[in-house]
Amino acid sequence: MNQKPNKFIYRFVQFLCLIVAKLFFRRKFLRNEIKGKKGPFVVIANHESALDFVNLIGATKAPMTFVISNTFYSTLPFKGFMDRIGVIPKQQFQTFLSDLYKMKAVVKNGGILVIYPAGLMCEDGQSTPIPAATYDFLRWTQADVYMARSIGTYFAMPKWAKGLRAGRTYIDIYKLFDAEELKALDDETVKARTDEALLFDAYKEQETHMVKYANCHQVEGLQNVLYQCPHCETEWSVQVKDKSTLVCAACGFEQTSDRYGFLHNHKQVGRERRHVSEWSREIYNRLKERVKNGTETGMHLAAKIRMIDENKRKFVEIGQGMVSIEEGHLKIRGTLRGEDATVSVPMTNFASLPFSPGKYFEIQQGEGTYRCYPEDGRLVMKFVNLVKIHYELNTARKPKSRRRARA
């Protein structure tokens, strides 16, 4: 794969992205400290939507090499085109030595490397966990590191909704670490500064910017993320009423969205959850407590299984079975490609799973990806939350490492 972008094709992509950035994202730079720079340096970015790169790719004329999901790359019909703009595909939450050397080569050859450390766009306005290997990787590149912070793209393109919702978005690009400084800083400082830059709550930021987005009041699909009522704590009872209201079928708890994406309690059943992120945190924290006290640690669900057909460049069904979280592993037991099979993957290094709320989640094993479609799509979010919780608790139990990454 060609890691050096073809300048002519790259300029064409920049032009197309500029149109989208202006018309739909209405991008505004708060700072742009990479304007006119050619590298070598690394850009890390938060991940609010699938098209965050659209606002970033034109920040400087020099070509950037984006690290993207291997699943996304492998299912595009124009793979050759992607190769010519110099992307580096890799498995989410897994990094092979070959990936590392491709990324390091970009910087070593004077280029600009762009990574989204969280690996996934957020589903509730909150950043997904940052894999622990991120901090060592930044040291290992031996380059200046810039932060590109997107603001508002979550509201313009929510993961749980369909289509774009035009409205003002912002991007703030600034130097996070100087290469020499990065060598001297202790591990805790590197982690703290990186997390402060990458972690976000889109709803708290919206309180500052107060931007209206097209159809922002519509909440269809959000019930797949907010699957538990915060008032009566019933799971999968939340439904959508009149496109803009979430209502619990069990207790009548009701929240209606406005044009800014904030929720309001008009029926006075329970307490208002103005921020979707707050409601989502409640669901997550309740589940985490149950995992910690041992009352709920695993999950089993029936699902159809798909994998990528390299010739067709899309996911095709290969079988079905039971998918579970048990004994520190993600497991698939069923009939795959006409034979009885068991897939078992340790959960240790998975900060989350790629997923689409209400539809599917993906389990990666080496270079293979199993896309699992539960018979009941409502179960997807809880399954993913459990994976996040196990990662969080497992990371908290590990002793702090004093080692430094080396080139």
277, containing H or E segment: helix 276-292
CA gap 334, 327 in Å, rounded: 18
Q: Is the pLDDT of residue 402 over 70?
A: no
Q: Is the pLDDT of residue 406 over 70?
A: no
Backbone dihedral region for residue 313 (phi beyond 0: left; psi -120 to 50: alpha; all else: beta): left
Q: What is the pLDDT of residues 59-87, one digit of tens each?
A: 999 999 999 888 888 887 777 778 888 89
Q: How far apart are the C-alpha atoms of 52 and 116, rounded to whole Å? A: 10
120 with 71: CB under 8 angstroms?
no
Q: Which CATH superfamily is domain 7-209 in?
A: Glycerol-3-phosphate (1)-acyltransferase (3.40.1130.10)
**210-238: pLDDT as tens digits:** 999 999 999 999 999 999 999 999 999 99
Q: Is 285 exposed, middle or buried (0-12, 13-18, 19+ CB in 10 A)?
A: exposed
Q: Look at the pTM and tell me if it is higher than 0.85.
A: yes
Q: Any idea where the domains of the chain sit in the sequence? A: 7-209, 222-292, 299-396
Give DSSP secondary structure letters for 172-213: EEEEEE-HHHHHHS-HHHHHHHHHHHH--BHHHHHHHH----
Domain 299-396, second-level architecture: Roll (2.30)
* Ranges 30-34, 62-66, 293-297, 402-406: which has the least confidence: 402-406
CB 104 within 8 A of CB 140: yes
Contacts of 268 (CB under 8 A, 6+ apart): none
Distances (CA, A) of 271 to 326, 375, 396: 35, 33, 32
What does the buried/exposed string (b/e) look like for 255-283 if buried means 16 or more CB atoms within 10 Å of the residue's CB? bbbeebbbbebeeebbeebbbbbbbbbbb
* Mean pLDDT of the 55-59 span: 95
Q: CA 111 to CA 38: how far, in whole Å?
A: 7
